[in-house]
Amino acid sequence: MKKDFMFTSESVTEGHPDKLCDLISDAIVDHFLQKDPFARVIAECAVSTAIVFIAARFKSRVNVDFANLARQVIGQIGYDQHAFNEKTCSIVTSLKEFPEEDRPSVDEHAMTDEEIERIPVRNQVTAFGFACDQTAAFMPLPIWLAHRLARKLTAVRLQKTLPYLAPDGKTQVGVEYRDGRPSRIHSITIIASQIKSAEAGGPDSKKLDDDIREAVLQPVFQDEDIRPDERTRIFVNPDGAFLVGGPSVHSGLTGRKNAIDTYGEYSRNSGSALSGKDPSRIDRNGAYVARYAAKNVVAAGLATACEVQLSYSIGLSRPVSIQVETFGTGKLPDQKIADLLETVIDFRLAGIIKQFNLRFLPSTVKGGFYRKLAAYGQMGRMDIGLPWELTDKAAALKG
């Protein structure tokens, strides 16, 4: 990557149709695992005008009311308009059970190392993890700021600070880099849906712009080292009023926002969806352990930016390849760092589940665990206490 450049990343609120689908899918995963930590489930969702479609494959000893779960999520997000709401939307399901033998029965915490070695992955995936020293969360600055703005946009709606806002929203932040480091905020775009037009009693464009700057932009940037300046271009609903938004305006699909879930396209991300999958899926937890590895490399001071690539093949417990790229910032050769990671971190499927306690987190975290990841990023979160955000391997990597 060039030393001087401008980079943009976007985030969306939990009311965006794609995120609504992620939330429904992960609410299903949470519900299964809360009652049966060894359940297997893959849940995908699509939404459009007045309709929700859920496709799920699962094996569990508990019964789940998929339609009721979806309606609960829709209501909690705040969709109560005539065009789309929890009571009147149609919900269509396509459900299929896995064979009984597909349901594991042994807790990874009780496994010996030899038993962990014998648990193979069932999917093939190349997972990417990234970390850098641009923020306290070891995330690229553009996606970090975009997420903060999106969360604040939701907060001022739920707290009735801006009661005219609807759940759907989008943010984008452009950051100028000089000599490879964030230098200034180039541009900010906020798309905020609103319940009513100006003609029907909603805010006009001037009031919306003023309100967003005061209630969203100023609080988010007051604690940031790099803030908008007099040359920063700020756009609030540049195409005019965005009324209601959500599934009645544009459709949604589980897993369509992978870049938002990870690094805002500043780094490569895995192609597979993260939401809607139980912990036995290496395409989900592989992305988590790759982030864990990259973050510990940067936390150890071995590089200021690190990308870890893990390649898994069906039938094997370990990745067939572990690659590290430090973009010329490494204190050690990249291959040496990769070798260190392999000795310090367990990249095996059962080992990841065990170390991160992935089967039991939904029952120990109030309100569920996986659905909390569905919006505002699955990496770099400072508000949940994610096990893959720990830097407890940094000391071992330093030697």
37 vs 29: CA distance, rounded Å: 10
Please give the class, per CATH, of domain 114-134+256-398. alpha beta
Q: pLDDT-based confidence at 198, cuts 50/70/90?
A: confident
Angle, helices 349-356 vs 282-299, to 10°: value is: 70
AA letter at 175: V
| pLDDT value, residue 2 | 76
Mean pLDDT in residue range 257-265? 97
Mean pLDDT in residue range 237-255? 91
Domain boundaries, the chain: 5-12+141-249, 17-103, 114-134+256-398
| pLDDT(319) > 70 | yes
Please give the class, per CATH, of domain 5-12+141-249. alpha beta
Q: Are strands 181-194 and 165-178 parallel, antiparallel or unpaired?
A: antiparallel
| pLDDT value, residue 102 | 64
Q: Same topology for domains 17-103 and 114-134+256-398, yes or no?
A: yes
| pLDDT value, residue 240 | 87
355 vs 390: CA distance, rounded Å: 11
Q: Which DSSP symbol is given to 99?
A: P
Mean pLDDT in residue range 204-208? 94
Structure tokens at 65: 């009311």
Comparing 201 with 361, the larger pLDDT belongs to 361
| pLDDT value, residue 151 | 98
Q: Does domain 17-103 have CATH number 3.30.300.10?
A: yes
| pLDDT(236) > 90 | yes
Q: pLDDT-based confidence at 367, cuts 50/70/90?
A: confident
Q: pLDDT-based confidence at 143, cuts 50/70/90?
A: very high
Mean pLDDT in residue range 363-383? 94
105-114, 175-184, 247-256, 371-380: which has the minimum mean pLDDT? 105-114
195 vs 163: CA distance, rounded Å: 9
Structure tokens at 29: 């995963």
Q: Hey, which bits of 207-342 come out as E strands?
A: 233-236, 242-243, 252-253, 305-312, 321-325
SS3 57: strand
| pLDDT one-digit tens code per residue, 67-77 | 999 999 999 99
64 vs 79: CA distance, rounded Å: 23
| pLDDT one-digit tens code per residue, 93-134 | 999 998 876 666 679 999 999 999 999 999 999 999 999 999
Cβ count within 10 A of residue 119:
18
AA letter at 13: T
Mean pLDDT in residue range 270-287? 94
| pLDDT(274) > 90 | yes
Cα distances (angstroms) measured from residue 204 to each of 48, 89, 243: 28, 30, 12
Cα distances (angstroms) measured from residue 4 to each of 19, 231, 288, 328: 33, 18, 30, 16
| pLDDT value, residue 297 | 98
In this prediction the pTM is 0.96
| pLDDT value, residue 92 | 98
Residue 258 CB partners (closer than 8 Å, separation 6+): 269, 270, 271, 272, 273, 274
| pLDDT(375) > 70 | yes
| pLDDT one-digit tens code per residue, 146-158 | 999 999 999 999 9
Tokens 């789309």 belong to residue: 84
Residue 239 CB partners (closer than 8 Å, separation 6+): none
| pLDDT value, residue 104 | 66
Mean pLDDT in residue range 258-274? 94
| pLDDT(199) > 80 | no
Average pLDDT of the chain? 95
Kindly give the residue spans of alpha helices, DSSP state H, lying in 109-192: 113-117, 141-158
